[in-house]
Amino acid sequence: MNAYYLIIRPTSSNPIAIQSLTLTFSYMEPAAGLPPHIVVLPSPGMGHLIPIIEFAKKLHHHHRISTTLIMSTSAPLSKTQNTLFSTLPPGIDYIHLPPINLDDLPANARMETRTSHTVIRSLPSLRDAVKSLLERTRLAALVVDLFGTDAFEVALEFKIPPYVFFPSSAMALSLCLYLPKLDETVSCEYREVTEKLLIPGCTPIHGRDLLSPVQDRKNDAYKWVLHHTKRYTMAEGIILNSFKELEPGRLKLCMKRTRKPVVYPIGPLIRMGSKSEVDESSVCVKWLDEQPSGSVLYVSFGSGGTLSHDQMVELALGLEMSEHRFLWMGSWRGPREGVYWCPCGRPRLRFSPMCQRVHSDTLWVELDSKRVLVNGVPMIAWPLYAEQRMNAVMLHEDVRVALRPNFGENGLVGRDEIANTIKSLVEGEEGKEIRSQMMKLKDAAAKVLSENGSSTKFLAQLATKWNSNTSM
């Protein structure tokens, strides 16, 4: 049966304005008799790529659904990304579209702006890739990351159901779903609102603790975030890297208020290191093996987290003043030249039971917080960017599995605050309560990932839907 779709193309300079209205008709005969196949358009950050790949692994292992990752970037893949893609298991392949030139954007353009432009300018190449896949696979869905909703145009053209993969928490998703309404009701900058904001599905939260890209409403990054969140309702479903036992109330509210798109909480999606990935000769691993169980504070700010020189000095002195063992991995760039690192390297450090004190930045909280939840490890949440502040509020005030240090008037967390926070976690009563709560969540995470767990069932529901879908 013939069908016509209204394709709305935003201009590259103004995501809100409508540039043209085009009636587009496409029909392609699906590859009959083949198992379902999905296309995923991820953001290039490792904190997004890793959970998406883990999601694809589960789909293939449990439901025989294969995946093609289509990378749209403005630069060649990094060494880390190439390594990740070169080790993809059976059932997952990838296509790297031609890099997009973004030289016309301001040098200080934020990641949200750059990613959105990259996706829009890649649409012709994406269309060709999807068309080619349709000739040899049975495409059941096109899944995009947070800032890829303009690719819905390709999904609609080929009549492929569109989905959003949301790698963060239900609390962050609640904000995104409510952001268009918040934009209408608040006239000033959100950080200037004196009272806590009451957002459905969120712990009452100060405006300064919302996502980093919404802190400057005049910046193009905010306009792009607003543009994408308005389009979430076009999706058939939102695949969420969280689980019911972690956020029961807000997940229930999310699922109630969004009959469409349907929310599928299938987390925690984590990448656990295997023994084969561990460099047993590493000085870090050897040192860890020699420490008493539960005695090491693991300090890491993830692949995108950097500190100023002054903050690095305060952190170093605070760690020393705490008088507790620590393993610090990371780098910084600042007025003083150089990037500093621990020789064992983060990707090859196994998540040892000895690392029972984890200092995790809350960007990687959406990767590492779920990892430490699975392992029952208490945290110190130190937010730097993206949704980290929201995650810190959730983990500290709501879930109560983390401590959060206070920033001083100079914008730094001082050495005394750092030392006292560490001692509270390791030695204090609050730390004992956090450890108890974390162990409960560890058991809950294991349960949801079991054969009859809620996350396993939601994944099965999604797979069943895709098994019944055909792109035609």
pLDDT on residue 307: 83
Q: Please list the residues that pair with 299 across neighbouring strands.
A: 328, 359
Helix (H) or strand (E) holding 328: strand 325-329
Look up 117 and say whether it is catalytic.
no
Q: Give tens-digit pLDDT for 390-437.
A: 988 998 999 999 999 999 999 999 999 999 999 999 899 999 999 899
Looking at the structure, do residues 259 and 287 belong to the same domain, yes or no? no
Looking at the structure, do residues 318 and 368 belong to the same domain, yes or no? yes
Q: Mean pLDDT lowest for which of 72-86, 368-382, 434-448?
A: 368-382
Q: Which of 117, 145, 220, 368 is catalytic?
A: 145
Q: What is the DSSP letter of 31?
A: -
Look up 60 and say whether it is catalytic.
no
Whole-structure pTM value: 0.85
Q: Mean pLDDT lowest for which of 64-68, 71-75, 457-461?
A: 71-75
pLDDT at 465 over 90: yes
Looking at the structure, do residues 208 and 190 belong to the same domain, yes or no? yes
DSSP string, 344-411: T-GGG----TT--EEEE-SSTIIIIIHHHHHHT--EEE---STTHHHHHHIIIIIS--EE-PPP-TTS
pLDDT at 331 over 80: no
Band (472; pLDDT cuts 50, 70, 90) = very low
Q: CA 178 to CA 379: how far, in whole Å?
A: 29
Q: Give tens-digit pLDDT for 299-308.
A: 877 666 678 8
The number of folded domains in the chain is 2
Looking at the structure, do residues 300 and 248 belong to the same domain, yes or no? no
pLDDT on residue 470: 56
- Between 375 and 358, where is the model more confident? 375
Band (348; pLDDT cuts 50, 70, 90) = very low
Q: Which of 37, 48, 227, 359 is catalytic?
A: 48
Instruction: Tell me the Ramachandran region of residue 319: left when phi exceeds 0, alpha when psi lies from -120 to 50, beta otherwise.
Output: alpha
Q: Which CATH number characterizes residue 168's domain? A: 3.40.50.2000
Looking at the structure, do residues 228 and 307 belong to the same domain, yes or no? no
Helix (H) or strand (E) holding 7: strand 5-10
pLDDT at 162 over 60: yes
Looking at the structure, do residues 253 and 288 belong to the same domain, yes or no? no
Contacts of 106 (CB under 8 A, 6+ apart): none
Omega within 30 of 0 (cis) for the link into 335 = no
